[in-house]
Amino acid sequence: MRTTSDLCGRVLDARYRVDRVVATGGMGTVYEGFDSRLERVVAIKVMNDDLVYEPGFTDRFVTEARAAARLSDPHVVAVYDRGRTADAVYLVMEYVPGRTLRKELTFGGRLPVARALDILTAVLKGLAAAHAAGFVHGDIKPENVLLGDRGEIKVTDFGLARAIEAGDHRASLLLGTAAYLAPEQTSDRTPDPRSDLYSCGILAFEMLTGHVPFRADSADDVLELHRTQRVPDPSAFVEVDGDMDALCARATAKDPSDRFQTGAEMLAVVTRLRRHVDPHAGAPAVRSSAPVLVPPPTAVTPETLVVQTTWDAQPPPGEDPPGAESTSEDPASGSPAPAVAVVGPPTSKPGSPAPVARKRRRGRKVFGLALLATVATLVGYFAWQAGTTETVNTPKLAGMTRSEALAALNDVGLTMRVSEEKYSERREAGTIIRSDPRPGERVAANGTVSVVMSKGPERYRVPKVRGMSQSAASQALAAVNLKTGQILQDYSRKVPEGQVIRTDPKIATPLKRDTAVSLTISQGPEPVVVPDVRGMTVDQAQAALAGGGLKPRTTERFDESVPFGRVIATEPGNGSTAYRGDKVRVIVSKGSQFVGVPSVVGMTIESATSTLEDAGFRVTTREQFGVTVANRVISQDPSGGTQAGRGALVTLTVT
């Protein structure tokens, strides 16, 4: 059966080239791709193979496209197109280079309050657009918040969005994420925009504290905690003021009528809080008296997480610890975390011996139970070894596609599990790098072979940094695992001083990790000195100015001292500073305004007219007796030899 990794290198519908895997999720895999028709990088979300032939999921996938395509907001990832081939159903979406909020929380832990409020602001604006269009997202969580390399923040994955009036909330329950679901999403009540605001409250709590409020062994247990327990105040864990507690408390109220009623209402409160927060402050400090996360009373199993504390917090059987409130699933891991409780300070005095005695007795009991579990495990292991005799050789899988490997393993009665996807310079994307057990090693019949799949060569595209400052461009390069190389400078009329003009290699070029990218920084327009072109002909002046990077524009005027056709002056004047590409006005002499009137008496009308016009005069004639007989000029006004303004009218009397 074809896998999503096998799509790398394919072209869908003769338009969308599939380049590399970006992320995987419950419904599908997201690839970086290229739209050959519009020549732009896009994200392509392809439904998982095991869902393609299930009508319910396929219909939901198409519904996602139709729902998201109706949204147009800078804080929502745009959906461009949807399509279906013989073996794939896919969406084409806006490609946002960057990372998810989950990645930032995983690697950075708690966020500064200002940063958390900025992210929450963008999420609320995106949700406001969705709610206005009649949709509820239904799955707000860090994985669905994208943080772009250029600072943009967008909500993605409207796979759970559906028309409010449709009322199909049971289907969304199957796909939602338990740690962020509102109580009504697990009941018969229809979720509405206030359900998304509840998830935003959980999101705010996690950004401030570094963890979600409720964790348990199973999703059902987490949902039960959301239904029955109050979300604790962030200030119980980190040093934030009461306004942040109030924001989270109102957003996560159990009764929707007690919450913010609209995204705009919650956004107004977040905006007000942001104005009073120090934008340069770091992440809030963890309180020394913060509640301690410990496991609740439960049967000892091999997977029980034992967390030691500095004081005895174990309640008697059937009782809850004082001040306890449940907490949630660990979002950074793919598996559920053990159930935990938020425990208040100890009720016994530090010097009291009773808790110490109980701790020692309990320690011996836990040790004994753990020893019994270990013995039982060893006995089971050797019993299994004794009862299992049939083994087969692991075939060589390296270099095969997933479908080829599945067929090879099926021939010898084995199954396959993809344990990891890694970049490889040697193996093409979608092929197997190595297997465990290795080729030729014996494995139990009907056993499982773990494989590492190749994501192809590790490449990162040069981000769009044109117009950024040098520091912002360096951060954008670092965010995609590239380094800042040589810093060059150049003049530019289009790019302001201090901003990036271009990169080398060019933007969108795929590069290996840690490749250096050179930046050319603008020095602004190039200054030039206006040359002295006075007295030059027009052609000479234009050539001199153009050679200096200036654009001459010619105008004329009369001048009594500068000969006709020569340059009088320039604006700006010679010796002044201009910038390459600036326009310079060149003023050219039309000569003296007054010239001598030629004498044309006795000439034919044609000769007289030509002579006067060549001298720069206009001509009109009148007949002495109302008729022309000799075709000769007998007088003129003004008379020949007098001075008149260039372009003046000369009247000829003819006979």
* Tens digits of residue pLDDT in 266-300: 999 999 999 999 988 888 888 876 665 433 333 33
Decide which of 308 and 583 is more confident.
583
Lowest-confidence pick of 99-113, 313-327, 416-430: 313-327
Lowest-confidence pick of 102-111, 180-189, 325-334, 385-394: 325-334
Q: What is residue 568's predicted lDDT score, i.e. its pLDDT?
A: 93
317 falls in which pLDDT band (50, 70, 90)? very low
* 298 vs 525: CA distance, rounded Å: 73
CATH of domain 393-454: 3.30.10.20
Q: What is residue 373's predicted lDDT score, i.e. its pLDDT?
A: 53
Q: What is residue 372's predicted lDDT score, i.e. its pLDDT?
A: 56
625 falls in which pLDDT band (50, 70, 90)? confident
26 falls in which pLDDT band (50, 70, 90)? low
- 609 pLDDT exceeds 50? yes
- 327 pLDDT exceeds 50? no
* 616 vs 33: CA distance, rounded Å: 71
What the block records as the tokens of 582 is: 């600036």
371 falls in which pLDDT band (50, 70, 90)? low
Lowest-confidence pick of 131-135, 147-151, 308-312: 308-312
Reported CATH class of domain 4-94: alpha beta
51 falls in which pLDDT band (50, 70, 90)? low
Helix ranges, 566-624 (H) = 605-614
The predicted model gives 153-164 an average pLDDT of: 64
Identity of the residue numbered 302: P
CATH of domain 594-654: 3.30.10.20
- Which of 190, 291, 215, 202 shows the shortest CA–CA distance to 249? 202
409 falls in which pLDDT band (50, 70, 90)? confident
Q: DSSP labels for 94-145?
A: E---EEEHHHHHHHH-SPPHHHHHHHHHHHHHHHHHHHHTTEE----SGGGE
The residues of the chain that CATH labels 3.30.200.20 are: 4-94
Q: What is residue 174's predicted lDDT score, i.e. its pLDDT?
A: 38
* 105 vs 111: CA distance, rounded Å: 7
- Which of 504, 500, 481, 506 shows the shortest CA–CA distance to 149? 481
What the block records as the tokens of 68 is: 């998201």
Q: For 418-450, how does the pLDDT look when each residue is reduced to its tens digit (9 = 90+)? A: 888 999 988 999 999 999 999 988 888 778 899
Decide which of 462 and 388 is more confident.
462
- 307 pLDDT exceeds 60? no
Which helix or strand (DSSP H or E) is residue 361 part of? helix 353-387
176 falls in which pLDDT band (50, 70, 90)? low
Q: What is residue 206's predicted lDDT score, i.e. its pLDDT?
A: 95
* 230 vs 214: CA distance, rounded Å: 10
Q: Which residues are identified as catalytic?
A: 139
In the chain, the percentage of residues whose pLDDT exceeds 70 is: 77
Q: What is residue 136's predicted lDDT score, i.e. its pLDDT?
A: 84
305 falls in which pLDDT band (50, 70, 90)? very low
Q: For 578-606, how does the pLDDT look when each residue is reduced to its tens digit (9 = 90+)? A: 999 999 999 999 887 788 899 999 999 99
* Rounded alpha-carbon distances, angstroms, from residue 109 to 133, 212, 478, 536: 34, 12, 19, 72
- 91 pLDDT exceeds 90? no
- What lies within 8 Å, CB to CB, of 188 at 6+ separation is none
Q: What is residue 60's predicted lDDT score, i.e. its pLDDT?
A: 66
**502, 521 Cβ separation under 8 angstroms:** no
Lowest-confidence pick of 199-203, 225-229, 315-319, 464-468: 315-319
Q: What is residue 310's predicted lDDT score, i.e. its pLDDT?
A: 32
- 67 pLDDT exceeds 70? no
What the block records as the tokens of 119 is: 């992210």
Decide which of 374 and 396 is more confident.
396
- What lies within 8 Å, CB to CB, of 27 at 6+ separation is 47, 48, 51, 57, 60, 61, 159, 175
In the chain, the percentage of residues whose pLDDT exceeds 90 is: 46
- Positive or negative CA dihedral for 181, 182, 183, 186? negative
What the block records as the tokens of 312 is: 């005895």
- 344 pLDDT exceeds 60? no
- 469 pLDDT exceeds 90? yes
Decide which of 519 and 403 is more confident.
519
Helix ranges, 169-325 (H) = 169-175, 193-209, 219-228, 242-251, 263-275
CATH of domain 99-285+322-343: 1.10.510.10
**150, 464 Cβ separation under 8 angstroms:** yes
The predicted model gives 240-249 an average pLDDT of: 95
The residues of the chain that CATH labels 3.30.10.20 are: 393-454, 460-522, 527-589, 594-654
Quick one: how far is CA 430 from the chain centroid? Answer: 26
- 122 pLDDT exceeds 80? yes
**278, 211 Cβ separation under 8 angstroms:** no
Question: Dmax of the chain from CA atoms?
Answer: 146
CATH of domain 527-589: 3.30.10.20
Q: What is residue 57's predicted lDDT score, i.e. its pLDDT?
A: 64
- What lies within 8 Å, CB to CB, of 562 at 6+ separation is 535, 568, 589
The predicted model gives 305-318 an average pLDDT of: 33
Q: What is residue 53's predicted lDDT score, i.e. its pLDDT?
A: 63
What value does the mean pLDDT of the chain take?
Answer: 80
* 473 vs 499: CA distance, rounded Å: 9
Q: For 507-561, how does the pLDDT look when each residue is reduced to its tens digit (9 = 90+)? A: 999 999 999 999 999 999 999 999 999 999 999 999 999 999 999 999 999 888 8
Phi-psi region of 308 (alpha: psi -120 to 50; beta: other; left: phi over 0): beta
Q: What is residue 413's predicted lDDT score, i.e. its pLDDT?
A: 83
Helix ranges, 210-326 (H) = 219-228, 242-251, 263-275
186 falls in which pLDDT band (50, 70, 90)? confident
* 35 vs 32: CA distance, rounded Å: 10
* 460 vs 477: CA distance, rounded Å: 9
- Domain 460-522 falls under CATH 3.30.2010.10: no
